[in-house]
Amino acid sequence: MQDNDSKEDDAPLRIALVAHDAKKDDIVDWVGKHLNLLRKATFVGTGTTGGRIKKAFPELDLTPLFSGPLGGDQQIGAMIAEGKLDGLIFFVDPLSPMPHDVDVKALNRLAVVYDLPMAQSRRSANMIIRGMMMEKYGTIDL
Ligand SMILES: O=C(CO)COP(=O)(O)O
């Protein structure tokens, strides 16, 4: 299994941002509340989520991928397998059926296979982002 040892120590954290439709407002709000921390990181996002966040916060270094149901979740899964991500923030909607449920499951599975820090809800995202920043910088600027 590949690990991230080859990554430069001073390189920014690489984080994927994903949200189901019912959680998109929530993730945009969450990013806004953590801008101080998040400015230090680089991002990819599934198409619609990434587009929403980029529009709200153009200063963030964020690359939108395909929309989740059209392969974006799988792109992020591939990046995890290739050791190209340090964390996944995925605001899931647990109350709606998803046509691409298999892709969502595959993404979650790969995050676990590669022991990638992953949050699936707002409070867990708060803790994951602080933990990741503490681990990398030894301190956090809230
Ligand atoms: O469906 C998603 C994740 O499973 C999110 O995709 P979008 O950000 O393109 O809506």
Domain ranges of the chain: 14-85+108-137
Residue 42: per-residue pLDDT: 98
Residue 142: per-residue pLDDT: 64
Which atom of ligand 1 is the closest one to the Cα of 70? 9
DSSP state of 18: E
Q: Which residues are catalytic?
A: 73
> 102-131, pLDDT tens digit by residue?
999 999 999 999 999 999 999 999 999 999
Q: Which two tokens stand for residue 105?
A: 């499951």
Q: To the nearest whole percent, how much of the chain has pLDDT over 90?
A: 89
> 84-106, pLDDT tens digit by residue?
999 999 999 999 999 999 999 99
The binding site consists of 20, 24, 46-49, 67-68, 100
DSSP string, 32-57: HHTHHHHTTSEEEE-HHHHHHHHHH-
Which atom of ligand 1 is the closest one to the Cα of 90? 3
**In the predicted structure, residue 2 carries a pLDDT above the cut 50:** no
* 14-85+108-137 belongs to CATH 3.40.50.1380: yes
Which residues have C-beta atoms less than 6 Å from ligand 1? 18, 20, 46-49, 67-69, 72-73, 104
Q: Which two tokens stand for residue 89?
A: 């923030």
**What average pLDDT is seen over the chain?**
94
ipTM for the whole predicted complex goes beyond 0.95: yes
